[in-house]
Structure 1
Amino acid sequence: MSDKDKKNEPNETEIEKVDGTDVEVEETKKEDDEYEKVCFICHRPESTAGKMIELPNNISVCSDCMQKSFDAMSNGQIDYSQLMNMPGVQVFNMADMEQQNIPKQQKIKKKKEGEDKKPLIDIREIPAPHRIKASLDEYVVGQEYAKKVMSVGVYNHYKRVATDTMDDIEIEKSNMLMIGPTGSGKTYLVKTLARLLDVPLAITDATSLTEAGYIGDDIESVVSKLLAAADNDVEKAEQGIIFIDEIDKIAKKKNTSQRDVSGESVQQGMLKLLEGSDVEVPVGANSKNAMVPLTTVNTRNILFICGGAFPDLEGIIKERLTKQSSIGFGADLKDKYDHDKTILEKVTVEDLRNFGMIPEFIGRLPIIFTLRGLDQDMLVKILKEPKNAILKQYQKLLALDEVKLDFDEGALQAIAGKAMEKDTGARALRAIIEEFMLDIMYEIPKDDNIGEVTITKEYIEGTGGPVIMLRGQEAMRLR
């Protein structure tokens, strides 16, 4: 080996000194290789702008921007060749420019070239509907019909994604619309489903969506959130699930002379998303602007699930059902449906149109199903039966302090009764328990002798207190 080669070769001690730094640099470089380069000037990604020109300090510029810069210099009135000799003029050095600082959430993962697009779920590994429902049963109490419909719908959807266009028969997409009162478990069902299937999920709210050009989130922002959930991997995002909550808030406004930018216009803008098309979406932002990269996402294999409480829909259904003549022996009583708890299950497309949803929008949501409001017995089951029930969470928290927590059956009924009065479904349970558990969670860590706490009906109703047993008393009782 020559002296020159020996000089250039790093010795072992130098490698040991910078070993940690080298590993860190290598990992950063490897991570950067997974993402597309973005133009420093126009912020377009490599897949849109084409091959990038590398400049010093990790700056990338697309050929279009570079050509425009050369054209501006050559066609301008200034002779740049004379600037070098002009007094007081300093020509900047490209290496002195700050490193291109594109946030990670705005970087797009590279598409793997030369490889067939693989489905997220293998067709042989798709769980059957009864298995999906059995998994949902572990977390969600009641709502048997809704769980059955969602299990079948998701099973068929991912079979469609897995087979894609393997034959001449193309399977249509089965988007869903779920209708149910607040706190009945609409969002929780979708979250549980996505966790079980291990697919990207975006949960968004329709209330912030507006027509393009107005203040608010663009319609394409719902796909941007899915892209972010898929770690900016376009291929992964194109097989995910989007849940749009509060969909009833974009109903067509009635008796208004103003432009309906957050109602009917949003429904019309969402038609292409629901149907399946290539849409340009901002990466890492809710609206398009010059400083945000854009990428193209195909929504053909994205499953859309829309949910809403539709608060005035019950009145529309009652009005339709009692439209018959009120004269004669065959007439229905006007108050026949006033106390019908299953009135939402009688919903039709005509009712949704009267509510303010346009026909084209409803037509792209072929699966329409309802969730029932929760009664007191269901609320008691929600408290104690699911895998991550609220009571089990508190029992685990106190178990970390080596204290056993129990709830009397009367206490559970009292908590459910208070939740029914609030009329906000299962959401009320957490608030009520937080209120009653506050003093217990505060006082118990003070005394190491406490071994067991039992929440009683009297404590919930404010006529008594919880039953507390010391560790010595507990041992005596066991003997």
Structure 2
Amino acid sequence: MKDETKDIVDNTDNQKDNNIYEDICYICRRPESKAGKMIHIPNNICICSDCMQKTFDTMNNGGMPFMDFGSINPNMMGFTPPPNVKNEIPKNQKIKKRAEKKDTVKAVLDASNLPAPHIIKASLDEFVIGQEFAKKVVSVGVYNHYKRVATGTMEDIEIEKSNMLMLGPTGSGKTYIVKTLARILQVPLAITDATSLTEAGYIGDDVESVLSKLLAAADNDVEKAERGIVFIDEIDKIAKKKSTSSRDVSGESVQQALLKLLEGSDVEVPVGATSKNAMVPLTTINTRNILFICGGAFPDLDKIIKQRLNKQSSIGFSADLKDKYDSDPKLLSQVATEDLREFGMIPEFLGRLPIVFTLDGMSKEMLVKVLKEPRNAITKQYKKLLALDEVDLEFDEGAYEAIAEKAIEKKTGARALRAIIEEFMLDIMYEIPKDEAIGRVIITREYIEGKGAPQIEMRGVPKLPAEL
């Protein structure tokens, strides 16, 4: 009896020791820090995914030329291991300890440490300019969601999940808000496009690939991934096709497949891949506590809204005219569920996204603030680049306005700013390293509009030595 107890203790110590050190691929001898997560097979053998894939490829091709059979351990060939072999790590494998995992989820799941909505919004204000209503909605929605996750069920009342649908023109900051939010809360975030999703069985990604990316972002920790955020961008691209004679495999079918994910269910997810096959291990993820945020530009939705609003137009004094909403910049904020149904979103899908809000298009004033105020504004990035060359870069007010006016003409929102600045900064970034005497460069409105040159100030001329 004592011997059996001693053996159990020894095995437990060996298992703890195994968890401390990295696994090493049996074939290529690379540690898991370089080769990635290992696949464990019987007899305590670890093989990386690359070698496993090569093995299957060569087997399918009728040979295994990359492997030297003479050096392969007999255990891999199906022979029984000797009875005196113990579960111990060879000394040559103890090269590096595993990095300690930082448990960043506990800070969020603790209700006492959860940042209040006004603190979340204040953090968003440092990076995202404008969109006050959208930032307020996101802050309250995320706060309530993680409060629900932290507390679980409260007596006999079960709090439902509040998924979100954000609408806004391109370049208005939909993706940027979600990225900043995940960085503030320190939770796993997966950002994916709905354009690549298709119905199961067709060429393309299955809807489970959305959760595969979240699992990868959580370092394959299922418990951590089940408390993450999934942002599905370009959600308007899976709208139901209005006129098609073939099966809508990337439209309505994808919406129907996403229903179980949004609602909350146990989903079989491939680990380390985006599609299910026999060579990829599967794990089960419960989506009950995963917050889904969907976003899309929804082009031509304003026409559907305008058509609905114009049904109330009439003829006569003080009547609503049909052209009343033609120049309304906030027309998208009047969206209703029936407009989204007319666009091509099925009612079941919209019912699982209870929070719907819109982002405003970027105005000239907002674009000027985007250039000047955020912590990582693009103008501050260029100032930092030139500061490394000991050159001061300045923009006058006219230059900011000229850049914003050009961006409005491109109609791509804040994304246009970088393209415009890259264009006129090319010559400056090329010429300045040639002359070390340049001390300051001032960008003017005339230079942005192509009517002049930037103002260049030279450094002070150094005094000559006395003996000369």
Which TM-score band (shorter chain)?
A: 0.7 to 0.9
* Structure 1 residue 348: Cα displacement: 0.5
* Structure 1 residue 169: Cα displacement: 1.1
Write out aligned runs for 1:12-91 (5 A). 27-29=21-23, 38=39, 40=41, 54-55=42-43, 57-58=45-46
**Correspondence for 1:9:** none
* 1:151 partnered with 2:139: yes
* Structure 1 residue 55: Cα displacement: 2.1
**Correspondence for 1:12:** none
**Correspondence for 1:180:** 168
* Structure 1 residue 97: Cα displacement: 5.6
Q: Which amino acid aligns with 2:254?
A: V
* In 2, Cα distance between equivalents of 1:56 and 1:152: 49
Change (3 A) 1:466 1:324: same
* Structure 1 residue 168: Cα displacement: 1.8
Q: Which amino acid aligns with 1:129?
A: P
SS of equivalent to 2:312: coil
Q: Which amino acid aligns with 2:196?
A: S
* Structure 1 residue 256: Cα displacement: 1.2
* Structure 1 residue 181: Cα displacement: 0.3
* In 1, Cα distance between equivalents of 2:224 and 2:19: 27
Q: Which amino acid aligns with 1:425?
A: G
SS of equivalent to 1:335: coil
**Correspondence for 2:28:** none
SS of equivalent to 2:457: strand
**Correspondence for 1:85:** none
* 1:307 partnered with 2:301: no
Contact 2:238 2:252 in 1 (8 A): yes
**Correspondence for 2:243:** 255
* In 1, Cα distance between equivalents of 2:383 and 2:202: 49
Q: Which amino acid aligns with 2:271?
A: V
**Correspondence for 1:444:** 432
* In 2, Cα distance between equivalents of 1:145 and 1:386: 18
Q: How many residues align?
A: 393
**Correspondence for 1:293:** 281
**Correspondence for 1:264:** 252
* In 2, Cα distance between equivalents of 1:25 and 1:201: 27
* In 2, Cα distance between equivalents of 1:123 and 1:24: 35
Find the partner of 2:230 among 242, 246, 250.
Answer: 242
**Correspondence for 2:269:** 281
* 1:169 partnered with 2:157: yes
* 1:94 partnered with 2:71: no
* Structure 1 residue 29: Cα displacement: 4.2
* Structure 1 residue 121: Cα displacement: 2.9
* In 1, Cα distance between equivalents of 2:168 and 2:113: 31
* Structure 1 residue 142: Cα displacement: 0.4
Gaps (5+ residues) in structure 2? 1-16, 25-30, 49-69, 79-97, 464-468
Change (3 A) 1:97 1:387: farther
Change (3 A) 1:26 1:346: closer
Percent identity between matched residues is 74
**Correspondence for 1:390:** 378
Contact 2:239 2:343 in 1 (8 A): yes
Contact 1:119 1:162 in 2 (8 A): no
* In 1, Cα distance between equivalents of 2:314 and 2:434: 69
Contact 1:249 1:263 in 2 (8 A): yes
**Correspondence for 1:417:** 405
TM-score by length of 2: 0.79
Note the alpha carbon deviations across 1:379-404, whole angstroms, 9 max, x for none.
Answer: 01100100110111101111111111
* In 1, Cα distance between equivalents of 2:459 and 2:272: 54
Contact 1:57 1:97 in 2 (8 A): no
* Structure 1 residue 443: Cα displacement: 1.0
**Correspondence for 1:380:** 368
* In 2, Cα distance between equivalents of 1:378 and 1:426: 9
**Correspondence for 1:77:** none
Change (3 A) 1:56 1:245: closer
Change (3 A) 1:410 1:222: same
Contact 2:107 2:114 in 1 (8 A): no
**Correspondence for 1:460:** 448
Note the alpha carbon deviations across 1:415-455, whole angstroms, 9 max, x for none.
Answer: 11111110000000000000111111111111111111101
**Correspondence for 1:226:** 214
Contact 2:407 2:416 in 1 (8 A): yes
Change (3 A) 1:396 1:210: same
SS of equivalent to 2:389: coil
